[in-house]
Structure 1
Amino acid sequence: MTSDAAAPFAFLGHDGAVAGLIRDFDWSQTALGRVETWPQCLKTATALLLHSPVPIVMLWGERGVMIYNDAYSVFAGHRHPQILGSNVREGWREVADFNDHVMRVGLAGGTLAYRDQELTLYRKGYPEQVWMNLDYSPVADEQGKPAGVIAIVVETTERVLAERRNRQEFQRLQSMFSQAPTFMAMLSGADHRFELMNPEYRRLIGGRDVIGQRVDVALPEVARQGYVLLLDHVFSTGETVKRMSEPVFLNRSPDAPLEQRFLDFVYQPIRDDSGAVTHIFVQGSDVTERVRAESHQRFLINELNHRVKNTLASIQSIVGQTLRGASSKDEALRSINARILALSRAHDVLTQENWDGADLRSIIDSATSAFRDRGDAFRIDGPDLRLGPRAALAVALAVHELGTNASQHGALSAPEGQVSIRWRVDDRDIFRLEWAETGGPPVTPASRTGFGSRLILEVLPQELQGAAHIDHRPTGTVFVLESPVAAVSDKPLYRGEADGTHSDR
């Protein structure tokens, strides 16, 4: 472009991509006419919007001829550059009624503001739901009358969808809490406000609705007994606090005196990415009914302490380790949810057996149930074998971690992939469990050791006094655990059982 041709556009003062399009555009074909005839107010407004890093479009005149900047061209997607110089009602036909209202209000001297306004736009050749913050204000001519409308457009789609996902994750977390057999609550901030609680916790406090309230306001009798000071200590130091068979006086009925309950509970600090404590997770059991006659009391409390301690240790490990290893809050919530549900399913199997032990096949069926999109995905073979409670929980969590990895990266991520789970007991009374994947994509060792890897390669063999290793073969991942049968079984096997196998798949 010669200097003479460029002179009428000297007012732009900008060398961006859209500024170049404005210089090359034949404005005489629009209601604005040749640029030499533009009023100074139009030139000034055009120059201002071109220099802004925020997406801005100007709609000039009754027809709303569109002039916009580089940031708005990104927002417009495939509609750019065709909509430059077009009339807004025609350039965005799918929202013509919306823009017609904008033009009427703006040219009458009014302003409009929308937050997270949802619209359906065709920016990529197909209908797309988008959310935006929109601010409209009139542009005055030399006589002070509205001659156009300036629109500041900030797309909020990513944030709105992220908030929606967070709400869904929160709802799933609430569902998990509601199914838990123990009482649970989540307290947020240094003033300990109730953010979440499950039905067991609500029953414990007599049905009071305490969500959004501080602990000292919602449960004043608890504050008087020093538990708010204990929460302060956990929040300020980051130390976990446990109490077993703790006598707590609760006001469970407005017209009744304080009622003494005996509780096992834990205050677990929850940290953000920077390591600062942001929440306290409260979990425990009401053990009041297990405190009665002296001889029976000792038996029941000892048994309950053993179970609750294991449950709390598992949940603390899952929450703590997952939060430390997760790359985002969404990932942490998904992993915590899946791992606690795997633990809950194992608890269901053990509860059906009164916690005397559990059948290994039942534990594996329960742990793999979440990954059975196809009926032929698993082949399970092995003799009848009952596991003790600790071994059952450890094996359930390990199988869940292997299943999660297989569904994301291994055999279960492929339509034809299969997993073989086999176990046996040899003549040396050594229990051997093998997980073998085939038919999946090529596998490579992970670049870092996460909580799942530590669980199956360190925690599991330590819990069962054995050894474990994982082999990423070209045909698929193979995991092997070996342990003395006495460390996993709740009673010895007959020799004939150890040698035989049968299949249920």
Structure 2
Amino acid sequence: MSAFTQDAGPDVHQLIRQLQAREAELALIHQIAGVGGVEVDLRDGFRNRRSPEYLEIHGLPPTAANESHEDWVARIHPEDRTHAEGQFLDALAGTALDYSAEYRIIRPSDGQTRWVRVAAQIDRDAEGRPIRLIGAHFDVTDAKFAEQALRESEERFRTIANSAPIPMWVTKLDGQRSFVNQAYTEFFELSYAEALRFDWRSRVHPEDAARILKAEQLRTLVPASPILPKDLFAIEIRILRTNGDWRWIKAVSQPRFDEHGQHVGFIGVAHDITAAKQAEIELRASEERFRLMVENAPVMIWMSDANGKCIHLNQMLREFWGVSEQNVHEFDWVDTLHPEDRGAVVGVSSALKKRCSFELKARYLDTKGRYRMLDTRAHPRFSASGEFVGMIGANVDVTERDEAERARDLLVDELNHRVKNTLSIVQAIAHQTFRKNADPVEARHAFEGRLIALGQAHDLLTEKNWENASLGQLAEVTLDTKGANADLISITGPSVLLAPKQAVSIAMALHELCTNARKYGALSEDEGRVRLDWSKADDARAPLCIVWRESGGPPVSPPARRGFGSTLLERTLAHDLDGEVSVEFEPEGLLCRIALPLDSSVVGIRS
């Protein structure tokens, strides 16, 4: 027996030492990993052995003695106690060989609440009765807090996402939705579960479908770095609503990465940009209408940049300067200014610097080589952000208007002059007619006749824009040779044009000669006649000769006093018109000769 013992002894001791070494290694592993080991002998109560790590996890002193089942139960958090103890006892009473649990304890050492996870093995005898439990306790408080924080974060995300007024979603790598918010389900009018399974691509407009990438194509675009360019995964598409409306959507997605930097899917949002798209369409339509209106406007319209360089000329202005649409940017309008108007550039430069409106009137050389007067009005243009971008203006060709204004001014001056002259004539007629001791009735009739003669002369001049009057028409109207005096007065002579002043004076003279003949001369008797002749030599310097000849009337003699007719013939015709007048009282009747030069600005005789 002793020999056997001596032979076996070294092997047993060696085994013991090896076992002790393994236990030491295991203890070291438990220490490093923070694993609390426990062994419970279930054959006689709940005798147990606990590692130092177990004691630390449970807040027990290193010298803590064997504890009872009740001591363990007492450390369990009141809210978890009943469930944890029941779960343990059920495991022992059953047939399972494994036991695991999670519960909270309140550590006696510091009163902290800690989460403990238990993983144990139950050894049973041949009848299945538990004889021993060997397990490990882990402090999983930090993990539980992290899980709780994650759940709270996810709950906050869901709350925020569901409160957002725009659709949001989260996808897996394969493109399957793992989350959609309430706005997403409302947009597609689906339940949450239906929305997760729904293939949203089926609602995309056919014209936009080809631009949508598949999940595997999207994955190839995700760079290794989480820092991505803006709008890398952005697209504008039309999606059909359940009510049949097409809505413009701008979908923006960003890759999702896990804690290891691995790409795990996408998160995205969708903005309904239908109103913006409609506004964009209307803006383009408005711009096109504006372009057509400007291009075909009956005025010259232009636009410049901030430096005053032309960037647009409408059709009328391009035709005015002979500039093609392609060469507008190279055109410099300053080169077309009249040399005398070059100073206007200073005002334009000042307006550009001050960014204010300006008005300009200057002459510009057109494509036909003519200088045309253009009236320009321009206003500054600003971008949506308030930046000055240039000027827009309109040029109106006022050449004819200015010429008309000058003509009007000349006409007004001429009218004033003529009115003054007419008033002077009327005043002279009145003065001579209503002279002292004149018979009122006779004077009134004479005054009316003289005014009528004056008016008839004015009518003829008005028909010719007061440029000239025909001597033949003047004599015909004044002497009424086609009316009451058709058989009494005859007129002959070539076509002669008289200047306005000459026409008025000769008309008055003929009226006085006719009045005198009717009162005292040839026309005072039935057999009396008057002949009016005029002639002019071909020489432009030769005077116009007019002859008034009466016949068949009573004998005539020089008057005892000088009347209006004598004064008119001598003062007006002889003096004012630089003519010569002679009056002879012959036995056959009165003979009056008038010679006066014709105005060089008026065409004289036409045969």
After TM superposition, is the score higher than 0.5?
Answer: no
Q: Which of the pair has more CA radius of gyration?
A: 2
TM-score by length of 1: 0.39
Name which structure has the greater RCO, CA cutoff 8 Å, separation 6+: 1
